[in-house]
Amino acid sequence: MPISLIILAAGQGTRMNSDLPKVLHKVAGAPLLIHAMAAGAALGPERTVIVAGHGAEAVTKAALDFDETATVVVQEEQLGTAHAVAQAAPALSGASGDAIVLYGDTPFIRAETLEAMQEARARHAIVVLGFEARDPGRYGRLITEGESLSRIVEFKDATAEERAITLCNSGVICADAALLADLVSQVGNDNVSGEYYLTDIVELARDRGLSAGIVTCAEAETMGVNTRAQLAEAEATFQARARATALEDGVTLTAPDTVHFAFNTVVGRDAIIGPNVVFGPGVTIESGAEIRAFCHLEGCHVSRGATVGPFARLRTGAELAEDVHIGNFVEIKNSVLDEGVKAGHLTYLGDAHVGAHTNIGAGTITCNYDGVFKHRTEIGRDVFIGSDTMLVAPVRVGDGAMTASGSVVTRDVEAEALAIGRAPQVVKYGFAKKFFDRLREAKAKGAR
């Protein structure tokens, strides 16, 4: 059955004490909103509607960067969850099938849970996601009759008996899209807060003779983020899950608690990840590769058999083919390194292509930026780049060529040629002794 998503992301999040909209604070390198969108995207939604409010322009950009087909509507006044859903209703006009309401500050709802809610829709007009809370606190309570849900009571409006209930409301709701819009239009604000509660649609549906049901999930899935402390807790939760998943998938983590994954890190079976490795967004590590201690990677691809580090940095656009070796204090950016390339230490390769089995000597730099434009360096196969070579781009080094150590290369080097780009050495015999004798004499006289 087709499904649409409504993701509520209008809140300011005053308890975050931040100018940034709450849903744009990041967990594992991605805004909270993107985690919610990704969970819903697994269902293959027909339409996705984001309800923005505070910081709507920034929220819109983040949403469309992730899914350019999404629709963003603005809730000018935050008058409650039902009011927010009502703002999304016009964007779902004519949509077939169900709609699921998600929250931009609740990043851990699993796709499997949403699928279970879809399946439960075969038995109920409305399905609510609930959980058993260790400490129910101020959550809304789910009031049941047998296996059906009779109503949802917000904490502020609950009696002492109702507050003793531990089955709580996550806020996630699944219903026929047209029915949801109709019910929301009937919600009033006669309650302690004077808000339009989405939860009121359960009673409205039952008044029409329609049934409501519950799907439950682990409390950890429903974790909402409202404070910096909760943001840190969410990060820890994500990392713990990511590490456990990696280990289960056959990845070796030599010090699991020190490895930090991004929301979209992909690591293949039999890869080895050393201590204190940090993955930014967009990293793929193929099976059998090794990332050694204290490396930072983002937006890069490391192929089978490659080794990286320790203390290396791979930036966006770094592509390492099979059996490439990147050593300590090497930085790669927007560069392709073909099979068997070695760059052992103290090197920067930016905006470059390095051919197979080339050796890059220590201290090599591709001088790719002239202060305005970036330029490319092309290095062929089986090249030997001597230590401390400056390759001033744009420049090309042919197959089988070499550069002398300490060279500044400003012109193309033909295949199998040697490039020497350094000043002639001048030796002044006896100069060092005379020079230091003069300095010591001056020092003894108190001169500086």
Distances (CA, A) of 241 to 9, 110, 267, 350: 25, 12, 14, 34
Q: Say if residues 62 and 21 touch (Cβ distance below 8 Å).
A: no
Given the residues 260, 296, 345, 353, select the one marked as catalytic: 345
CA atoms within 13 A on the CB side of 25: 27
Q: Say if residues 160 and 141 touch (Cβ distance below 8 Å).
A: no
Distance CA 197, CA 353 (A): 58
**DSSP label at 383?**
-
Q: Is the dihedral of CA 117, 123, 125, 126 positive or negative?
A: negative
| DSSP state string for 154-195 | -GGG--HHHHT--EEEEEEEEEEHHHHHHHHHT----STT--
Distance CA 330, CA 259 (A): 20
Is residue 345 part of the annotated active site? The answer reads yes
**DSSP label at 276?**
T
Residues whose CB is less than 8 angstroms from the CB of residue 216 and which lie 6 or more positions away in sequence, other chains included? 129, 130, 131, 132, 167
- Catalytically annotated residues: 345
